[in-house]
Amino acid sequence: MMVPVTPAQKKSSIHSVYEVPGSRLPVRTPQSKPHAPQRTPRPSVLGESMRENMYSLARDRSVDEVAKTAEAHMEALRREKHALLNEREDLRTELQLGRQRELKLRGSLEKQEKRIQRYKERATHFTQSQMHVDEQLAVAQEQVAEYAEINAQLSAKLDTLQSAQDEQCIDNEVTPYIYSLTRTAARLLASAQEAKTSATTQLVIPATPPRDDTAAVEHIQTLQEQRNVLMDALCGAEEQNSVLQRTCDALRDQGELHAWCDTVDTEHTATLAFDNACMHADLHYLETKLEMEKDRSAWLESQLDHTRTIHSKVLASLAASHRRDKESANTTRDCTLQAELNETRASEASLRAKMAQLMDDLERLSFYEEAYAAQSRQSNLLAELAALAQETCSTGRGSRELELLDARLDASRAATDALTRHRDRLHGFGTYLAKEGHAEGVYTRRNSG
């Protein structure tokens, strides 16, 4: 049966002296070369995301000193973080106050714009009122012209009626003459009636034997002729009487019509005079109101111009102040950002240096882990050797080899326990440094972003 060979042990017989495990493990010393090629990082047991945020360990210092240095550095980073947080809160407060001032200024601007809009609406309303008053004035002037025409027509009618009244006076003067003619006609008619009656009575007288027939015939003819003449006169008198009666009725009706027309014309003239006086009063009122509206419109226009001037001045001052505040804020922000950029670059450089140290520590840690793995394999081999020794002892090959194997097994176990404790301490401290370095890197990236 062949004895297994470990990396730290040469081929030898079972009776060779056992060496301490790990005594011939290679120790890697860092050598600085000016133009050394970039090394590919080895896989870490702590995880790929932890490697860039670990703090470097000095190889020539103890674990306590390194822990104190790391704690001091973490305390400084915490103070810097609190200072940056306070500065950020101050900047947020200033931004909030600036937003509040901006909202107040916008509110005042909106109030000014609403006031200007109200003034514009009032000016438009007054302009419309002025146009309406102008239209009413034009309508009133047209009505005055119409009433003037109607007044002229009524005046002409009044003149006509006055001439008709003069004619009526003439008719009144002619009426007695007509009445006298009527009485004359009545007398003539009465005389004709009497003549007719007398002629009839004469004709009714009983006939007596005439003394002379020729004289009687002549007398009868004469009476008939007189009768015919009287009848003709009676007809003419009746016709003249009827004509005179119709003329009197027509003149009487015309007089009543003229009187009614005079009354109507008088009432209409009084109504037109009253309407004319009312129109003159309304025209005077409208002219006065138009002047007042013109004055009010001029005053409103002056107030609107004054408000526009104030608004433009306020807007100019607000724009200038806003521009100055923006320039000062931009300057302050640029200075702050430049300072933060410089600090970030310095922090990045220090973090890069720390990351390089952490890489070295990780390589050292991986080296110790490999050594531990080799020691574990050697322990396993020693266990197999112990089992083999027990088998050899059981077969009676000797007790000296068994004692040597027991001693080597105890030494290997002690070295394995020491390496395990050292590996656990390094692993715990590396995890702590990885967490702290990761938190610091996240905060640094947030500040730089």
What pLDDT does residue 56 have? 47
User: By C-alpha distance, which of 167, 340, 164 is closest to 260?
Assistant: 164
If DSSP codes are grouped into helix, strand and coil, which group holds residue 4? Answer: coil
What pLDDT does residue 9 have? 47
Higher pLDDT, 168 or 371: 371
What pLDDT does residue 210 have? 44
| pLDDT exceeds cutoff 70 at 370 | yes
Six-digit token string for 438: 């990761």
Q: Tell me: the pLDDT tens digits for 317-353? A: 888 888 888 888 888 888 888 888 888 888 878 877 8
User: By C-alpha distance, which of 41, 26, 52, 59 is closest to 370?
Assistant: 26
Any idea how long the chain is? 449
φ, ψ for residue 15, nearest 5 deg? -90, 5
What pLDDT does residue 410 have? 77
Which helix (H) or strand (E) segment is 217 a member of? helix 213-395
Residue indicated by tokens 């009244």: 165
Average pLDDT in the 386-413 region?
A: 67
Distance CA 81, CA 61 (A): 28
| pLDDT exceeds cutoff 80 at 84 | yes
Q: Residue ranges per domain, the chain? A: 62-106+352-448, 110-204+218-302
CATH T-level fold of 110-204+218-302: Helix Hairpins (1.10.287)
What pLDDT does residue 398 have? 52
8 A C-beta contact, residue 258 and residue 164: yes
Distance CA 197, CA 200 (A): 5
- Kindly report the pTM of this predicted structure: 0.24
What pLDDT does residue 436 have? 64
